[in-house]
Amino acid sequence: MNLTRLLQSQGFGTRRECRGLVAAGRVGLAGREQEDPDAEVQPEGLIFSVDGEDWRYREKVYVMLHKPAGYECSQKPRHHPGVLGLLPPQLRRRGLQTVGRLDEDTTGLLLLTDDGQFLHRYTSPKQNIAKVYRATVRHPLTESQLSALRTGVVLHDGPDPVAAQAAVARNAHTLELTLTGGKYHQVKRMVAAAGNRVDALHREKMGAYALPADLAPGEWRYVEADTAS
């Protein structure tokens, strides 16, 4: 792969813009400034720099973001800032998509990727990807509410009961709920159907990924692809 194509694949601009980066002496390989935009490079494992900042070549990108409240997961947000604005422009240019969505007032773990197969696997209902939420509820939790969530509650958009994989009270007003579905506002609607109300919602886990304690709201990091079948 030539250097211009590599830079373009990593989100550093159009072909013309990437050639201009090299011509301006802003691209380095192994600590040495590059001058030939057509130089052939081996992309796998390559570390390159742009304006002194190191980047690793990634054929596909997998990002974990700690979503703050007040952000939309839409590609074209309407009422609040979009989560993609929390990422550097190089990643935004790669066409990352959110792996599922969180409501604008919901916080916590959000995955983004440009890998279509990964996106499909993690969002397909057939895959039963478990998602763990921490919900702060308005009224003290009761055993009857927890039992209803585990056995299934009926939502207005379907006749069949929808059940949580697990429902545990961490304390009187904190519910840990594990779901494998992805219905619209599912956690809030299930809790309401069980006789309570969600005042705050936070996603802690999704499939093989857990939100680390040292990732602050609005921060992101690269993760590796979950290849487990």
Residues designated as active site: 103
Contact by Cβ (8 Å): 185, 191: no
Distance from C-alpha of 172 to C-alpha of 136, rounded to nearest angstrom: 9
Sheet with 47-50: list strands edge to edge: 32-33, 27-29, 47-50, 53-56
Cβ-based neighbour number of residue 76 at 10 Å: 6
| Encoded tokens for 29 | 């390989």
| Residue whose token pair is 């211009």 | 4
Radius of gyration of the chain (CA): 22
Contact by Cβ (8 Å): 111, 98: yes
The DSSP output letter for 178 is: E
